[in-house]
Each structure stands twice: as C-alpha cells, then as structure tokens.
Amino acid sequence: EIHQIPPRIVILVTPGMGHLIPVIEFAKRLISFYPDFLVTFFIPTDGSSVKAQKKVLNSLPKFITYMFLPQVNFDDLSDDVKAETRMCLTFSRSLSSLRVALKDIMGSSRVVALVVDSFGTDAFDVAKELDLPHYIFITSSAMWLAFLLELPKLDAIYSGEYKDMPEPLKLPGCVPLHGIDFVDPCQDRMNEAYKWLLHLSKRHSYADGILVNSSIDIEPGCLKVLQDGNPDTPPVYAVGPLIRTCDDANSEETDGSECLKWLDGQPLGSVLFVSFGSGGTLSNEQLTELAIGLEMSEQRFLWVVKSPSDTAANATYFSAHSVKDPFGFLPKGFLERTKGIGLVVSSWAPQIQILSHGSTGGFLMHCGWNSTLESIVHGVPLIGWPLYAEQKMNAVMLYDMKIALKPKFDVNGLVRREDIAQVVKTLMDGEEGMKVRNKIEELKCAAVAVLRENGSSTKSLCKVALKWKNHNYKYQ
Ligand code: UDP
C-alpha cells in the first residue's frame, strides 16, 4: 500500500542563515510529531555562504538530509547587482538542476510536497510538471506575507515611487505602512530587484498552501484576515514561533564561551545585547556614535561588532562574518574605558544562548524576523533599529505592538550618541522600558502555549502534515 511508504518533503531554501534556520526548525518539529516523515533540503548556491551553512546542516538529525544543487555561475553579473537580485538569480539558474534532482528523489521515494521560501516560487513550474503539491514557507512575519499578496495590486494601481505615496498602505488587520518603510527593493521601482520581487509576489497566490513562522498571538489581526478573509488566498498555516534551541546551537560548535562566561558574572537582567543580525553593518560614523552612545548610557552591554560599510547595510549577508578586523574601527580608548562594563566580540555571537541567559535584560537589534521571534520566546525587551530588507516593516509592527522602543533617527537616518544613550537607559532602567518588558513577557507566555500539543500553531502544523501524508502519489 502506497501510504505505508514514508512520505518525504523536499524543501528548497535560499542560501542565508535567516532562511535556513527556521526551515530546519520546522522540519524537526514536523518529524517530532510525525516520525514517519523524511525531509530533504535542496539548496541552490552561488558558492558564497556554504561554510556557515554546512555547520548548521552537518548537525542535523539523520532523518533530515540535504544536498547543494550544482553551483550557479555569476561571471556575467556586474558588481552592483543587489543582494536580492543575486538571490533570485541563484534560484532561477538552478531550476534545471532542481528538476533533475527532484526526478531523481521522486524515483526512489514518495515525495509528497515541495516547500520553497519566498524567493523560490519559480520552482512551482517544476513542481507542477511533476504533479507535486507546492507550498511556501514564509520565514518572516504574516504582515510580510500580506504585503507580498497585495503588491501586484498596488503595482497596478499606483505608478509613482512608493515613498511618495500620500497615504500609508493599510493592509487589513495590520498597522499602516508608509512607502518609505517598504522592503528595500520597493524603494526603486526601476531597479531589477523590484521587478524580481513583483514577479515572485505574483506567484504566491499559486501555492497550495502557505506556512508562516508566526502565531495568532503575535499577529492576531493580520492572520485572522489571511486565514478567513480572501477566497483567492491559499490556505495559510501559522506554525511559529519556530526558533533554534540552545541545544541546536551547542551542537554547531560555534565558540561563544567567552561571552557566556562573561554573562555569568553579570547581575540578573542587567546586560543590553547589541547585534544587527548575520548581515547587518553600520556606516563608520554610525559605529562611532553607537560606541560612544553605549558608553554614555552607563549600562552594561555585550556588543557584536562588525566592520563598518559605507556602501551597503547588508555588506556581510553572504558571508556572515566581517571582512576586516572590526575592533580597529572603534573609537580610540573605547575598549579600555568600557572594560568590565561592556564586552565587545567580533562578527558573530551565540545569540540564542545569550538571549536565554538570565543576565541579558534587553536587546538592541535590527528587527530581523528570527531575532524578533527569539526575543519574544525568551521575553527580552527590544530596541528596534532596522537596517535593510523588510526590517523597517518589522520595526513598524514591533513599535506598534509596544515590544520595542524606537531610537530617534535624524534626517540622514543616523542615530546620534545622546539619543542612543537615552533609549538604552529608558529600556534598561526607565518606566517605558518596564512596559515593554511586561508586554513581551505576556507574548512569551503565549508563545509557549501555541506550541503545546493543543496550541494553535501545533494544530496548523498537524493540518498541513495530514494533507501531505494523504497526498495521492502519482509519479512513476
Ligand atoms: N545569529 C547568531 N549570532 C549572530 C548573529 C545572528 O546566532 O551573531 C542568528 C540569530 O540568532 C538568528 C539568525 O542568526 O537566528 C539571524 O536571523 P534574522 O532573521 O534575525 O536576521 P538576518 O541575519 O537574516 O538579517
């Protein structure tokens, strides 16, 4: 009987830790509820971030396997091609090898669904050819999904640049969004990156279902509309918040013992963690302001510093590590003056262990979605400082939810030292900071509940898993 053969899910994932980590967590959770499932990751690559990814992939449990698709060639691309375009091209140039790999795996096992992330919707054509149900896993918020589903309509009715829109966009159930806060590719509609985004967004409605790493407590309004609102929207399953655990991180042998040891010696809830994600970089001037601002705040801090970049806010997206020694860019005498009260580490830190450490009392962060979920799950209050991608959209939502304070950005987008000191003090020691702390604590409790056996996110996972399990497999 066909249903006795274990069902296999193939997940096609964008290179980049922010995508890889949540889909891995999803796969593990799927298998913890349905141990007969097998999962295989196919990863298109341009060769650039393989090392960091392999660290994570090599620590996977046995029933989850992975394969890098043959490396795509980018020799023809000019240097100024945007990160988003590169990502889309990595996918589109991998489609023929995806077809070969899928046929191969379908010949030897019962593949019941192809799951892609937002960048991978071009693979739907291959899935259709092979009669394979195709799903999307949104590694960002439900609001991001609502935005993508709306974008084709918005593109058709509004022809100017979005930043000049007279009214904010009101996505049903979401906080109003000004054009200036839209995801980066929407800031220049003539750029190739916008055309890609529009193309991919149009394809979201062709999915058989869309999974999103969020929950009904985190985004009640938006998810309600997505789930019950529009008959043209594919079924939406909120399965989050899925984040990595300390065990996952420990098994990757990333050495972060220095930070953790230092945290052990600090008072409870006293340390502000400062990090801008795997790809975020500041300008030289902003790095200096931040350093002095932290010093002026007189609060304890643990800061992951990357070398500054004056050209792009996502300069390290594909490598996750700084190119040069970042300590050389800090203001003179900073390290000596803050010794004892602050610890500065280079490029990368064990974030999940830091957020779950009792000494950590706040997080100045870039509003990446995974970091947001990790903060919610650990109840760490935030200062939201978005840099690139859809981070500004996330920030607008986090301010509105009152789980993040907003630093004061000047007309050039710079946060001055006095304002940094101010917002840090408020978070760690002020009344407003206390409110943010209480609010995120509430969400933390809700996050635990939705992932229990009877919780809404578990039920969504089960719904989609049963659909997959019962898929009538026709491939010969
Ligand atoms: N991360 C980490 N150490 C770092 C920076 C990032 O462990 O120094 C992890 C972080 O815990 C999160 C992921 O990398 O799981 C970053 O994802 P997110 O969506 O927050 O931001 P992105 O890096 O994609 O901008």
Tell me how far the alpha carbon of residue 349 lies from the centroid of ligand 1, in angstroms: 9
Cα 450 to middle of ligand 1, angstroms: 23
- Ligand 1 and 259: CB distance under 6 A: no
CA of 77 to the centre of ligand 1 (A): 27
Regarding the beta carbon of 23 and ligand 1, being less than 6 Å apart is answered no
- Minimum CA distance residue for ligand 1 atom 2: 351
Q: Probe ligand 1: pick from 276, 364, 371, max atoms within 8 Å of CB? A: 371
Nearest protein Cα to ligand 1, atom 21: 368
Return per-residue pLDDT of the chain as tens, 476 residues. Answer: 566 789 999 999 987 888 899 999 999 999 999 999 999 999 999 887 777 788 888 888 889 999 999 999 999 988 888 888 888 889 999 999 999 999 999 999 999 999 999 889 999 999 999 999 999 999 999 999 999 999 999 999 999 999 999 999 999 999 999 999 999 999 999 999 999 999 999 999 999 999 999 999 999 999 999 998 778 899 999 999 999 987 777 666 566 788 999 999 999 999 999 999 988 899 999 999 999 999 999 999 999 999 998 776 776 655 555 556 888 999 999 999 999 999 999 988 999 999 999 999 999 999 999 999 999 999 999 999 999 989 999 999 999 999 999 999 999 999 999 999 999 999 999 999 999 999 999 999 999 999 999 999 999 999 999 999 988 766 54
- Catalytic choice (19, 134, 357, 378): 19
117 is known as an active-site residue: yes
Atom number, ligand 1, closest to the C-alpha of residue 254 = 7
pLDDT of residue 476: 47
Nearest CA to ligand 1 atom 13: 18
CA of 142 to the centre of ligand 1 (A): 19
Q: Of 214, 201, 236, 162, whose CA–CA distance to 84 is shortest?
A: 201
Distance from Cα 350 to the centre of ligand 1, integer Å: 9
Q: Is 386 in the pocket of ligand 1 (CB under 6 A)?
A: no
Q: Is the CB of 117 under 6 A from ligand 1?
A: no
**What atom of ligand 1 comes closest to residue 249's alpha carbon?**
7
What is residue 52's predicted lDDT score, i.e. its pLDDT? 75
> Can you give the length of the chain in residues?
476
Predicted local confidence at residue 206, as pLDDT: 95
Query: pLDDT of 286-317, one tens digit each?
Result: 999 999 999 999 999 999 999 998 776 776 65
Q: How far is ligand 1, taken at its centre, from the CA of residue 406, in Å?
A: 20
374 lines ligand 1 (CB under 6 A): yes
The ipTM, to two decimals, is: 0.99
- pLDDT recorded at residue 417: 98
**Closest ligand 1 atom number to CA of residue 389:** 25
Contact 46, 316 (CB under 8 A): no
349 lines ligand 1 (CB under 6 A): yes
Check pocket membership of 313 for ligand 1, CB cut-off 6 A. Answer: no
